[in-house]
């Protein structure tokens, strides 16, 4: 089954969009948040947990899966779905962001990114063709082109060089694709320079990609710059293809980006914060580690139906967090993923009902009220 995207509705008062895309492993409703499964596993969560949080699609990491377990393993198992037992859609990133995170340990050339494995020290060359070859072996439903991501604080000249190389790599990625059942998304770069963002979007949308991502954000720019360039790029992308803001991820970020016309998101925040004893709740971001909570028999969030909130008191979650028990990380991760998925569902409903502006205003007002009382409540802070 080939990939397809259906734009079902556009909100009457904002740029927010309601859609769905279909893949060989199922249909996904948008706007959507994708839990990150870096090593073919969402941190601390098993398949039942992912079903409980109603995740429709997860993300895998090409760079890390290339190094371990390696391409041969995925070829043996016939792809990531049979390997990990996940039967729903998977998106894989290309490895570009991980290369960005290794400035002292990689070399970028026209051919690709050369780096040494953190597993055994072997030298690898991640080219556009190799990235697609690996993603083909993984069998993801959506693949990403290899891009050169740089700090958003880079100057215009360096940003242009990286953007133009990203364009050439994108065309090589497109030429390397061999399977029609795997979608391929291009990545718009250009930093915080309007002229470069416009050039990048214009160039990439002339080619036969199945969707488009906005890359190179959340890497040093201000919140205002991120929102402005998200809105700019989204406005230039094809109406009937999905738009994906890569690696951006607080609840506030998701709200702002949906408002500006973005369809897809991923971020490690729900699981990363869980390991720090932090949960997103209807009363703000909640820290379970303060000593004052050791006797609390209250649920984490009385307004949440997740298994964690229904079965475990805060005092127990506090205990697990202080002991660094993986069970505590798992229970908070389940809750955070449910929070994210419920937020996306509420946004989808608001778009369908042409009241996203109202939802946006009311949600921001609620979060601002939480921030206003932050200093008076040491276990809560702003979203």
According to the model, what pLDDT value does residue 371 have? 81
In a domain, 347, yes or no: yes
User: Which of 273, 296, 311 is at the close of a domain?
Assistant: 273
228 has catalytic annotation: no
Residues 208 and 105 placed together within one structural domain of the fold: yes
In a domain, 190, yes or no: yes
Residues 99 and 13 placed together within one structural domain of the fold: yes
In a domain, 351, yes or no: yes
Preceding peptide of 31 cis, ω within 30°: yes
Residues 165 and 283 placed together within one structural domain of the fold: no
Listing DSSP states for 55-68 in one string gives ---EEEEHHHHHHT
Tokens of 130: 């190799």
Residues 266 and 126 placed together within one structural domain of the fold: yes
Residues 68 and 153 placed together within one structural domain of the fold: yes
Residues 157 and 295 placed together within one structural domain of the fold: no
Residue 123 phi/psi, 5° resolution? -85, 130
In a domain, 319, yes or no: yes
Of 11, 49, 263, 266, which one is the catalytic site residue? 266
Question: How many folded domains does the chain comprise?
Answer: 2
93 has catalytic annotation: yes
Widest Cα–Cα separation across the chain: 60
Nearest to 269 by CA among 261, 260, 280, 255: 280
- Which residues are within 8 A (CB) of 324 and not within 5 positions of it... i.e. 6 or more apart? none
In a domain, 83, yes or no: yes
In a domain, 2, yes or no: no
According to the model, what pLDDT value does residue 104 have? 63
Q: What is the full per-residue pLDDT of the chain (383 aa) written as tens digits? A: 799 999 999 999 999 999 999 999 999 999 999 999 999 999 999 999 999 999 999 999 999 999 999 999 999 999 999 999 999 999 999 887 777 676 666 789 999 999 888 889 899 899 999 999 999 999 999 999 999 999 999 999 999 999 999 999 999 999 999 999 999 999 999 999 999 999 999 999 999 999 999 999 989 999 999 999 999 999 999 999 999 999 999 999 999 999 999 999 999 999 999 999 999 999 999 999 999 999 999 999 999 999 999 999 999 999 999 999 999 999 999 999 999 999 999 999 999 999 999 999 999 999 998 887 765 666 677 67
**Separation CA 321–CA 160 (nearest Å):** 45
- Which residues are within 8 A (CB) of 52 and not within 5 positions of it... i.e. 6 or more apart? 306, 307, 334, 338
User: Which of 273, 303, 321 is at the close of a domain?
Assistant: 273
According to the model, what pLDDT value does residue 95 have? 81
User: Which of 273, 299, 329 is at the close of a domain?
Assistant: 273
Structural contact between residues 294 and 321, judged by C-beta atoms closer than 8 angstroms: no
This prediction's pTM: 0.96
Residues 247 and 336 placed together within one structural domain of the fold: no
Task: Pick left, alpha or beta for residue 377 (phi over 0 → left; psi -120 to 50 → alpha; otherwise beta).
Answer: beta
**Separation CA 55–CA 89 (nearest Å):** 10
Residues 117 and 195 placed together within one structural domain of the fold: yes
Of 93, 141, 147, 253, which one is the catalytic site residue? 93
According to the model, what pLDDT value does residue 102 have? 66
* Domain at 264, CATH number: 3.20.20.105
Residues 225 and 175 placed together within one structural domain of the fold: yes
Residues 171 and 320 placed together within one structural domain of the fold: no
According to the model, what pLDDT value does residue 242 have? 98
Residues 225 and 353 placed together within one structural domain of the fold: no
According to the model, what pLDDT value does residue 378 have? 60
Residues 189 and 288 placed together within one structural domain of the fold: no
In a domain, 191, yes or no: yes
In a domain, 380, yes or no: no
- Which residues are within 8 A (CB) of 225 and not within 5 positions of it... i.e. 6 or more apart? 152, 192
Measured over the CA atoms of residue 193, residue 184, residue 32 and residue 61, the dihedral's sign is negative
Query: What domain range is 334 assigned to?
Result: 277-369
């Amino acid at each position: 089954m080939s990939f397809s995207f259906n734009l079902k509705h556009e909100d009457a008062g904002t740029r927010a969009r309601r859609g769905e895309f279909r893949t060989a492993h199922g249909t996904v409703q948008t706007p959507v948040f994708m839990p990150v499964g870096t090593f073919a596993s969402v941190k601390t969560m098993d398949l039942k947990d992912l079903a409980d949080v109603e995740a429709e699609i997860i993300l895998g990491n090409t760079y890390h899966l290339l190094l371990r377990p390696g391409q041969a393993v995925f070829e043996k198992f016939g792809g990531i779905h049979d390997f990990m037992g996940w039967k729903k859609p998977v998106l894989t990133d290309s490895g570009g962001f991980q290369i960005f995170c290794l400035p002292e340990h990689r070399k970028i050339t026209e051919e690709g990114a050369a780096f040494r494995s953190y597993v055994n020290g072997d030298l690898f060359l991640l080219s556009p063709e190799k990235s697609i070859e690996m993603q083909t072996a993984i069998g993801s439903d959506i693949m990403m082109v290899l891009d050169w991501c740089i700090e958003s604080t880079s100057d215009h000249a360096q940003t242009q060089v990286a953007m133009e190389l990203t364009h050439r790599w994108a065309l090589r990625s497109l030429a390397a694709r061999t399977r029609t059942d795997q979608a391929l998304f291009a990545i718009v770069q250009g930093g915080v320079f309007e002229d470069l963002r416009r050039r990048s979007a214009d160039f990439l949308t002339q080619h036969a990609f199945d969707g488009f991502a906005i890359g190179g954000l959340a890497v040093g720019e201000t919140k205002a710059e991120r929102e402005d360039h998200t809105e700019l790029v989204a406005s230039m992308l094809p109406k009937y293809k999905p738009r994906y803001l890569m690696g951006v991820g607080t609840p506030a970020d998701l709200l702002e980006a949906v408002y500006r016309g973005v369809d897809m998101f991923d971020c490690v925040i729900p699981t990363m914060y869980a390991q720090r004893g932090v949960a997103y709740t209807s009363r703000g971001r909640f820290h379970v580690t303060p000593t004052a909570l050791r006797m609390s028999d209250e649920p984490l969030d009385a307004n949440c139906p997740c298994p964690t909130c229904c079965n475990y008191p805060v005092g127990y979650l506090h205990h697990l967090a202080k002991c660094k028990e993986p069970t505590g990380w798992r229970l908070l991760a389940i809750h955070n993923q449910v929070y994210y998925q419920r937020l996306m569902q509420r946004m989808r409903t608001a778009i369908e009902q042409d009241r996203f502006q109202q939802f946006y205003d009311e949600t921001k007002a609620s979060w601002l009220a939480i921030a206003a009382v932050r200093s008076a409540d040491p276990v809560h802070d702003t979203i």
